[in-house]
Amino acid sequence: MNPWLHAVLYSLVLVTVLMTCTAYATWLERKVAGRMQSRLGPTRVGFAGLLQPIADALKLLQKEDIVPLAADRALFNLAPPLTVFFALATAAVIPFSPGLLASDLDIGALYVLALSGLMVFPVWIGSWASNNKYALLGGMRAVAQGISYEIPLLLSVTIVILMADTMSLSGIVQVQADEGWFIARPFGLGLATFALFFVAALAEGNRIPFDTPEAESELVAGPTTEYTGMKFGLFYMAEYLHSIIVAGLGAALFLGGWDGPIAPGLHWMVLKTLGLWMVMLWARWTFLRFRTDQMMTLCWRYLVPASLGLLMAAAVWVHAVHGVS
């Protein structure tokens, strides 16, 4: 098939599937959160509330679109679609099964990190363009958090790159399929790296317990304070998309991606992604939000030194196992 046609079709399918997953992720989250708090969650719209996401989307579309008079109009309107764009663009290199990915970049892991580093920009742009002090405070927190937690995130992925000896995500999954998953290999070090990646990714995605930019008890709704209707919906969507993609990335980097017995690779990838995403939910509805200064302390005093230590340990391990190549 023509590579251009293939790229367009694949992207269309991927975007559609991811958007549907995002919509139903909100349903699942509300169900799980409800059960964790002895509630039922959505039950009214459709069987077991299954039509709730569609009702939500329709409701958001009907809402009046308000742009504050003192806002920077162009940037205010630019920010919401830009967040979704960056979140979706990350999905291009996630390998779902052997050969099933939009683009098998040689530098896939770096590409993901580059885009996830950009994720804070639309949030900040939206917060600044809102011309609202709560929004701006939230935006500044988002940027501070993003740029700090990017370092342990980058270093934890660097450790995986070092151990796998490749930067291509499908290559990293293939190495794990051949030689064992990186969460358990080398013993202890892999698990610690995974924990580091997971915490940094949660913080980078502004998920509870790291959602200090949003902090509704202090900042109304943080960067999204002035947004209404579907523009708010887009921010919301981007957050869910990002969390799903981060779960997929974690599955590909540490849990062997599509590798698994009996069932085809895609099933395993989806199962692992969903599992990791459920752990995020679990964390979200269990822990309390950190304070901003605690977030910074955690990152700079503990995670950054720990990640540097792990990187050195991984280098020693790679040298001991493979020798100088």
Residues that bind another protein (CB under 8 A): 70-72, 75, 105-107, 110-111, 113-115, 117-118, 120-121, 124-125, 128-129, 131, 136, 140, 143-144, 146-147, 150, 154, 167
Residue closer to another protein by CB (options 281, 314) is: 314
For 226, the 3-state DSSP assignment is coil
Cβ burial 80-95 (10 Å sphere, 16+ → b, else e): bebbbebbbbbbbbbb
CB of 151 to another protein, least distance (A): 10
CB of 28 to another protein, least distance (A): 31
Task: List, as own/partner pairs, every contact residues 77-82 make where C-beta atoms lie below 8 angstroms and the sequence separation is at least 24, other chains included.
Answer: 77/231, 78/122, 78/125, 78/129, 79/122, 79/123, 79/125, 79/126, 79/129, 79/235, 80/122, 80/126, 80/227, 80/230, 80/231, 80/232, 80/234, 80/235, 80/238, 81/234, 82/121, 82/122, 82/125
Residue closer to another protein by CB (options 12, 147) is: 147
CB of 83 to another protein, least distance (A): 15
Residue closer to another protein by CB (options 129, 159) is: 129
Residue closer to another protein by CB (options 42, 108) is: 108
For 202, the 3-state DSSP assignment is helix
CB of 114 to another protein, least distance (A): 4
Residue closer to another protein by CB (options 135, 208) is: 135
Residue closer to another protein by CB (options 107, 270) is: 107
If we measure between CA atoms, which residue out of 175, 7, 21 comes closest to residue 104?
A: 7
CB of 110 to another protein, least distance (A): 4
CB of 238 to another protein, least distance (A): 17
27 Cα distance to chain centroid: 18
For 313, the 3-state DSSP assignment is helix
Residue closer to another protein by CB (options 113, 299) is: 113
86 Cα distance to chain centroid: 11
CB of 43 to another protein, least distance (A): 43
Residue closer to another protein by CB (options 48, 89) is: 89
- CA gap 271, 251 in Å, rounded: 9
Tally Cβ neighbours within 10 Å of residue 69. Answer: 7
CB of 143 to another protein, least distance (A): 6
- CA gap 255, 246 in Å, rounded: 13
Q: Tell me the one-letter amino acid at 55.
A: A
DSSP 131: T
